[in-house]
Amino acid sequence: MAAVKRPPLPVILVANDLLEGDVVYAVAGGWTRDPRQALVASDEGAAQALEAFGATELRQSRVVDPYLVDVQVGDGGLPLPRHYREVLRMLGPSVRRDLGKQADFNY
Amino acid sequence: MLLLDRHGRKDDSFAQLENGKKIAGKAPLVPLAALEAQLAAQGGAPLGVLVENNVRTAELEPYFGKLALIAIRFPSATDGRGFSLARQLRERGFIGVLRASGPLFSDQFPQALACGFDEVEIPDANAARQPVEQWLAARDRITLAYQHENGLGESILELRRARTLEKNLTGAKNV
Amino acid sequence: MYRYDEFDERLVRERVAQFASQVERRVAGALTEEEFRPLRLKNGLYLQLHAYMLRIAVPYGTLHARQLRQLAHIADVYDRGYGHFTTRQNLQFNWPKLKDVPAILGLLADVEMHCIQSSGNCIRNVTADHFSGVAHDELEDPRPVAELLRQWSSLHPEFEWLGRKFKIAVTGAAQDRAVLKSHDVGVRILRDPTTQQVGYQILVGGGLGRTPMVGRILREFLPREKLLSYLEAVLRVYNLEGRRDNKYKARIKILVHEIGIDAIRAKVEAEFAAIDSGRTDVDAQEFARIAAFFAPPAYESLPDVSRKLEQAQASDEELAHFVEHNLFRHKQRGYTALTISLKPVGQAPGDATSHQMRVIADLAEKYSFDEARVSHAQNIVLPHVRLDDVPEIFAVLRAEGLGTPNVGLLTDILACPGLDYCALATARSIPVAQALAEHFADPAKQKEIGDFSIKISGCINACGHHHVGNIGILGLEKKGAESYQITIGGDPGENYALGELLGPGLPAELVPEAVDRVVAVYLARREPGESFIEAYRRLGLAPFKAAFKEIADAVA
C-alpha cells in the first residue's frame, strides 16, 4: 500500500459527531468538544493510532469525516492549527463571536 | 449476490457462461459483444444480455424480441445513467425483464421500479447491511408520485382528476 | 399563493417519515455514510465547518406570514435564532442537529414547506423573478410554471441520481431578474412573434462555478403544453450523456460546450420526438388549477400617486431615500413592491433574526396580502404594498434595523456564507462584505455612485455569483492565507456578461481601497446619466486595471 499522506507533527484528530454535527476532537478512547482537551500526537506512532481510532469510529457510526490536523500548542494549552481554515473551525464564525467553540469555551 | 423483485427475494434463472459454457438449468446471460454468437447458438431458448450503462438503446433495439432479460450494470449507486436507460428501453418497447445489477441501496428501490426495472441484483456485502425486508420497506415508504411513470399506480394528476370527478358527481347528486 | 392539496401534503409527510427512517438506518449502520450523504443532501442537509446546515426550499421565493413565523420558531427552538437567505431564494439554518432534523421537517410540513432537493445531484429548487406577478414589465406570472416544475421535478425517479446538480429558473418579464443565463435550464415565457401564442424560450448550459458559461438558446419557442415532455428529454439526454468521470465537468454546461449547442439540440429534439408526450405533456386543467392560486389579490382601485406618501417624504429625508431605492414599480396603480434590505451596514448579507422574520411576517400579513418574497439578491420583498402604507411600513422597518435604503446600491452586496460557515470555502466572504459596506456606508456617497453590484464568493463554486457582479470578489487561498481576486464588468441581466480579472489577488484589508480606486475612475470619467456598468463598457478594462494596479503593486 502507498504511504498515507499525513500532515506534519504534532497533530490532533478532528471529526464531526454524527448525530449532533458538532466538531469533536479525539481524546484517549473517546471524543471531546473542547479543543483544549484534544489529544496531541507528537510522534508517528501516536498519529497512526489517532488515525486508526478515527477510522474505527467512522465505521461505528459515531463520527463523520475524521482527519488529522497539524497544530502548534500554545500557552493556554490550546492546540492551535497551522491552517486558517482549521483555526476558524476551532473558534467558530469570525463574524459571530457569540457562536461556536469560541463562545462555548470562552477562549 | 442477492436478487430481488418487488415481491422479495427470487432465484436467478440466468447465469453468466463459465468457460464459454452454459450452466445447467440456467438461461445464459452474456455481454453485448457475445450476443450475436449466443443468439445463433441458442435457437429460441431464453437469453439475457448484460450491458454497461453507457450502451445506446439503439444498439439493443434490434434484439428486443429475442431477449428475455436485459441486465444494466450500475458501476456505483450514484451513477444514475441506468435509470434513464431503463426508462428509454421501456418507452422504445422492450417488454422482457429488466434487471439493475450493482451496489444500489434500498432507498433506490422505488426509483428502479418506477423506471421500469423488474428486479435488482446487489452484492452480498450490501445485502448483509440491507436485507430484503429493508428493500420491501423502502419500496412502500412513498406511496404517491407526481410523475406518470412511478411504479406505484395512478399519478397525483390522475388522483386529482378522479377527485374532481367525484366532487362533481356528488355535487350533481345534491342538486 | 399555491396551497397544498391532500396529495401534496401526503407526499411531503411521507418524505419526512422516509428521512427519519434514513437517519435511523444510518445510525444503525444499515446505511453507510457514503450512501447516507446523498440522501441527506437531497433533504437539504449538509455537514458544514462547525455543524450541520439545513437548506429549506422556498419555491420561487414565495412565502406567507405563517411560513415565516414557523421558520422563526424553528430558528429559536432548533437553531441559534437566525437564518440566512441565499442567492437561490432558499433559507439556511447553520446549527441544526441531525437528530432534530426529522422534527424540523415535520414543522416545515405543517406549513407546506420542505427541503426536498434543495441540494444533491438532482433537480434543485426552481427559482423565479422575485417580482413575479407584480412587475410592470411582465408578460405573465412565471410562478404557475415554477410550481408545475416543482411538482414534476419532486422525487422524479429517473432524475434523482444525475451527474451533478441541475438548476432551473423561470421568468415572465422583459428584464431578466432571475439570472436565467446562469442556470442549467432557463425558461422564459414569451409570445411567439408570428402566432402571438404564449409559450417558452428554453435556455441551456449556463452556470457559474469553476467554469462559468453563458446559457444558450436551445429552443426558440416551445408550445406551453410541451414543457414537461421537452424538459424530460433535456434531462434524459443530460443524464445519459453528461460526463461522469470528473465532477467538475459533470454539469450540462460542459456537455453543451463539448458537443456544441447544435448537437445537443439534435439529441434533445430526437428524444423529445420519441417520448410518449401524451403521458408527459402539461395537462391544461391541471395548469389552470395551479395558476388559479396565483391570481392577483383583491387590489383596491387607487390613484397612481399617493399624496400621503408624498407628504410624509417631504418631511422625512430617510423615508425619501427609502422610497427612491427600495420601491419597485407595480402593475397595479397605487401599489408598489417594497424591498426590505437584509444588508444593513455591519450585518452578514442575507441574515435575518427570528425576531426580524416575525416583524416581516406581521408586515406581510397587514400590508401585503399575506405575502413575502425572497430575492436572489438576498433581500425580502413585500410584493403588494399600497403606496399610502409605505410610511407606516418604513417606520416599523426603521425601528427594527430593517430600513436600510440601499437596494441596488453598492452596499447591497451579495455574499455566500464563505469560510465562516461553509466547509467548501477557501476564504471568508462575510467580513469582506462588511468591510466594504462600512467603507462605503455614507448614503450620499452611495447615491452619487448609483447602481452598482458587488458579489462575493468564498470559493470557485460561486454561490455568491461573483462572475456576474459589476465588481466580483472571489476568495481563494494563496500561500496559506486568504486572498481575494477582483473582477469587473459582470452583469446578470439582459446584457449578461462575466467579469474580467483586474489583477492579482489582494489580502482582505486592501479590498475596500481597491474597489474605491475602481469607483474613483468611474466617477471621474462617467458621462451624465451613465451607470457604472455602462461606463465600463464604453471605457473598457484598461483605465480600471491601471487604477487597480497601484494597489496591487503596493502588496507585491
Provide the pLDDT for residue C369.
98
Contact indicator for A63, A15 with CB cutoff of 8 Å:
yes
The proportion of chain A whose per-residue pLDDT surpasses 70, expressed as a percent, equals 96
Provide the pLDDT for residue B175.
55
> Is the Cβ pair C95, A99 closer than 8 Å?
yes
Indicate if C99 and C165 belong to the same structural domain.
no
In this complex, which of B111, B142, B157 lies closest to C11 when CB atoms are compared?
A: B142
Considering only CA atoms, give the Rg of chain B: 19
Q: What is the DSSP letter of C544?
A: H
Residue C409 lies in a domain: no
- CB atoms under 10 Å from CB of C378, counted, come to 26
Any residues with CB less than 8 A from the CB of A34 and at least 6 apart, and which?
Answer: A25, A101, A104, A105
CATH number of the domain that residue C547 is part of: 3.30.413.10
What CA–CA distance (Å, rounded) separates C234 from C256?
A: 11
Q: pLDDT tens per residue, chain C (556 residues)?
A: 999 999 999 999 999 999 999 999 999 999 999 999 999 999 999 999 999 999 999 999 999 999 999 999 999 999 999 999 999 999 999 999 999 999 999 999 999 999 999 999 999 999 999 999 999 999 999 999 999 999 999 999 999 999 999 999 999 999 999 999 999 999 999 999 899 999 999 999 999 999 999 999 999 999 999 999 999 999 999 999 999 999 999 999 999 999 999 999 999 999 999 997 788 899 999 999 999 999 999 999 999 999 999 999 999 999 999 999 999 999 999 999 999 999 999 999 999 999 999 999 999 999 999 999 999 999 999 999 999 999 999 999 999 999 999 999 999 999 999 999 999 999 999 999 999 999 999 999 999 999 999 999 999 999 999 999 999 999 999 999 999 999 999 999 889 999 999 999 999 999 999 999 999 999 999 999 999 999 999 999 999 999 999 999 987 7
Indicate if C438 and C479 belong to the same structural domain.
yes
> Is the Cβ pair C49, A89 closer than 8 Å?
yes
Cβ-based interface (< 8 Å): residues of C facing B: 5, 7-8, 10-11, 14-15, 17-18, 21-22, 25, 29-32, 35, 38-39, 121, 151-152, 154-163, 236, 239-240, 244, 274-276, 279-280, 283, 285-286, 289
Per-chain mean pLDDT for chain B: 95
Binding partners of C (≥3 Cβ pairs within 8 A): A, B
If you measure CA to CA, which chain C residue comes closest to B52?
A: C240
Indicate if C184 and C283 belong to the same structural domain.
yes
Indicate if C153 and C287 belong to the same structural domain.
yes
Helix axes C390-399, C317-326, angle to 10 degrees: 100
Residue C122 lies in a domain: no
* Full domain range(s) for residue C234: 134-291
DSSP characters over A44-103: HHHHHHHHHHHHHHHHTTSEEEEEEEEEEE-TTS-EEESSHHHHHHHH--TT-TTSSHHH
pLDDT tens string B142-159: 999 999 999 999 999 999
Q: What is the DSSP letter of B140?
A: T
What CA–CA distance (Å, rounded) separates C21 from C15?
A: 10
Indicate if C197 and C150 belong to the same structural domain.
yes
Domain final position from C267, C291, C315: C291
Indicate if C394 and C432 belong to the same structural domain.
no
B163, three cell numbers:
377527485
Domain final position from C291, C315, C339: C291
What CA–CA distance (Å, rounded) separates B37 from B30?
A: 10
In this complex, which of C33, C98, C481 lies closest to A21 when CB atoms are compared?
A: C98
* Touch between chain A and chain C: 3 or more Cβ pairs under 8 Å: yes
Residue C443 lies in a domain: yes
pLDDT tens string B26-72: 999 999 999 999 999 988 899 999 999 999 999 999 999 999 999 99
> Is the Cβ pair A19, C49 closer than 8 Å?
no
Distance from CA of B94 to the nearest CA of C (A): 14
A positions 70-89 inside 8 Å of C (CB)? 83-85, 88-89
pLDDT tens string A37-92: 999 999 999 999 999 999 999 999 999 999 999 999 887 778 999 999 999 999 99
Provide the pLDDT for residue A1.
42
> Is the Cβ pair A23, C50 closer than 8 Å?
yes
Residue C119 lies in a domain: no
C244, three cell numbers:
461522469
Indicate if C71 and C149 belong to the same structural domain.
no
Residue in the structure block whose three cell numbers are 463459465: B18
Interface test with A, best of C27, C46, C49, C483 (most A CBs within 10 A): C49
Q: Please tell me whether residue B78 adopts helix, strand or coil conformation.
A: coil
Q: Considering only CA atoms, which of C535, C542, C554 is closest in space to residue C500?
A: C542
Residue C485 lies in a domain: yes
Indicate if C146 and C257 belong to the same structural domain.
yes
Residue C207 lies in a domain: yes
Indicate if C431 and C523 belong to the same structural domain.
yes
Query: pLDDT class for A3, splitting at 50, 70, 90?
Result: low
> Is the Cβ pair B160, C289 closer than 8 Å?
yes
> Is the Cβ pair A19, C29 closer than 8 Å?
no
> Is the Cβ pair C14, B144 closer than 8 Å?
yes
In this complex, which of C33, C95, C434 lies closest to A95 when CB atoms are compared?
A: C434
Sheet holding C52-56, edge to edge: C45-47, C52-56, C91-93, C82-85, C351-353
CATH number of the domain that residue C17 is part of: 3.90.480.20
> Is the Cβ pair B84, C160 closer than 8 Å?
no
Interface test with C, best of B84, B87, B89 (most C CBs within 10 A): B84
Indicate if C279 and C350 belong to the same structural domain.
no
Query: Is residue A5 pLDDT above 80, yes or no?
Result: no
Indicate if C169 and C250 belong to the same structural domain.
yes
Provide the pLDDT for residue C496.
93
Indicate if C138 and C285 belong to the same structural domain.
yes
> Is the Cβ pair C29, A99 closer than 8 Å?
no
> Is the Cβ pair A64, C47 closer than 8 Å?
yes
Give this complex's ipTM.
0.96
Provide the pLDDT for residue A96.
97
Domain final position from C260, C291, C322: C291
Domain count, chain C: 4
CB contacts < 8 Å between B and C, how many? Answer: 114
Provide the pLDDT for residue C494.
87
Distance from CA of B110 to the nearest CA of C (A): 8
Q: Considering only CA atoms, which of C176, C247, C255, C185 is closest in space to residue C216?
A: C185
Q: Considering only CA atoms, which of C170, C168, C172 is closest in space to residue C141?
A: C172
Distance from CA of C230 to the nearest CA of B (A): 14
* C22: chain B residues, CB-CB within 8 Å: 107
Distance from CA of C483 to the nearest CA of A (A): 12
Contact indicator for C437, C415 with CB cutoff of 8 Å:
no
Interface test with A, best of C27, C41, C50 (most A CBs within 10 A): C50
If you measure CA to CA, which chain B residue comes closest to C26?
A: B129
